Amino acid sequence: MTSKALDSFLNENIADLKERGLYNEIDPVEGPNGPEIKIGGRTLINLSSNNYLGLATDERLKKVAKQAVDSHGVGAGAVRTINGTLDLHLELEKRLAAFKGTEAVISYQSGFNCNMAAISAVMDKHDAILSDELNHASIIDGCRLSKAKIIRFNHSDMEDLRQKAKETAESGQYKKIMVITDGVFSMDGDIAKLPEIVEIAEEFDLITYVDDAHGSGVLGKGAGTVKHFGLQDKVDFQMGTLSKAIGVIGGYVAGKANLIDWLKVHSRPFLFSTAVSPADAAASAKAIDILMESNELNEKLWENGNYLKAGLKQLGFDIGNSETPITPCIIGDENATQAFSKRLNEEGVYAKSIVFPTVPRGTGRVRNMPTAAHTKEMLDKAISIYEKVGKELGLI
């Protein structure tokens, strides 16, 4: 007999989420995740992916992935420290280090895993972490795992950060102090104030950690937020993912050689979990080559981002303070946000509603992510559907 306590816990909580508009229906996608996707037999304009550069379906990546299956098989075979380090993993790390402008790189199985791995490898209960209040869930969980004291600062509020850094440093209670931030905040599209953060870090000897999941491939001609500000020599951890702009799967930390050496012997997801497959490693390395050779995809992403933003803003939607192609349409109420997304879907636009706990309560939004792969016709069609549905629901 299975647990009655578990059953009632699950049933009550799922019903509660549904009632409050917080239950996320997951749609199966029938085919590739491109600028258009097929769901329930219907083809929709896809504004929901993080496939910023369209590389998830790129023919060049598909070709090297197939070749890697032929040459290396489908799995890495073991945890990397045992005998799962393939030449393809090392090649990927070498390219990433060149791309990021750091001495070395360690790759992991996902961006989420990176944050689980890297924060707790250097921080412990004798330490403190200053964390932006809007940081991604994987940062929050990575910080918790470390057992360090977590001190949240107001979003991108440099006065608050300086004050808290000062108090924390002067308290003399902590051996090490880290400041951690998203490079680009994924639900709003704003950029962390890295020059000020680095200045504060220098003043109080803080370790700097930037999660650049949404900056890599987007800012700094693709090399990320740290490069965008020219701070490669001043940020200790540049964490990134291979699952968004790079189009594949995996994550990495770029930094000085001694940091990467330490993570290779001390970070648990590296030591106790098998690495990404040969096809993944080869495809990611190819994506990095493409980004290092040309800015074409990056420029197209920005062109499309600016076009969609201008179109939605002109219609009267609240698109927040985005500084990147990420384009939120902020609605507020959770149920209204879900209803808006549903109607957009019925008319042909796939733009998912994002509600608590991904964003704070009462700030529900439809998050739009135009990519380098969208055509102007697709974006025009999406804008006209927004106009129709926005007027129908009294949102504009």
* Residues forming the active site: 186, 214, 244
CB of 172 to ligand PLP, least distance (A): 32
Instruction: Please report whether residue 269 would count as binding ligand PLP according to CB under 6 A.
Output: no
Place of tokens 């990467």: 260
Whether 193 and 158 have beta carbons less than 8 Å apart is answered as yes
* Residue whose CB is less far from ligand PLP, 243 or 353: 243
Instruction: Please report whether residue 211 would count as binding ligand PLP according to CB under 6 A.
Output: yes
Describe the crossing of helices 111-122 and 137-146 by its angle, rounded to 10 degrees.
30
DSSP state letters, 157-187? -HHHHHHHHHHHHHHT--S-EEEEEESB-TT
* Residue whose CB is less far from ligand PLP, 297 or 326: 326
Peptide bond into 32 cis (omega under 30): no
CB of 112 to ligand PLP, least distance (A): 4
Rounded CA-CA distance 35/44 in Å is 9
Nearest to 29 by CA among 341, 334, 350: 350
Dihedral (Cα; 227, 232, 235, 237), 10-degree rounding: 80
* Residue whose CB is less far from ligand PLP, 215 or 311: 215
Stretch that binds ligand PLP, among 7-15, 110-118, 167-175, 264-272 (CB under 6 A): 110-118
Tell which one of 49, 102, 120, 186 touches ligand PLP (CB under 6 A).
186
Dihedral (Cα; 128, 134, 135, 140), 10-degree rounding: 60
Nearest-CB residue for ligand PLP: 111
3-state secondary structure of 364: strand
Tell which one of 136, 149, 309, 367 touches ligand PLP (CB under 6 A).
136
- Among positions 213-232, residues that touch ligand PLP (CB under 6 A) are 213-214
Place of tokens 């945890």: 79
Instruction: Please report whether residue 119 would count as binding ligand PLP according to CB under 6 A.
Output: no
Tell which one of 251, 311, 328, 370 touches ligand PLP (CB under 6 A).
251
Helix or strand holding residue 130 (H, E) = strand 128-132
CB of 39 to ligand PLP, least distance (A): 20
Instruction: Please report whether residue 240 would count as binding ligand PLP according to CB under 6 A.
Output: no
Binding site for ligand PLP (CB under 6 A): 110-112, 136, 138, 182, 186, 211, 213-214, 241, 243, 251
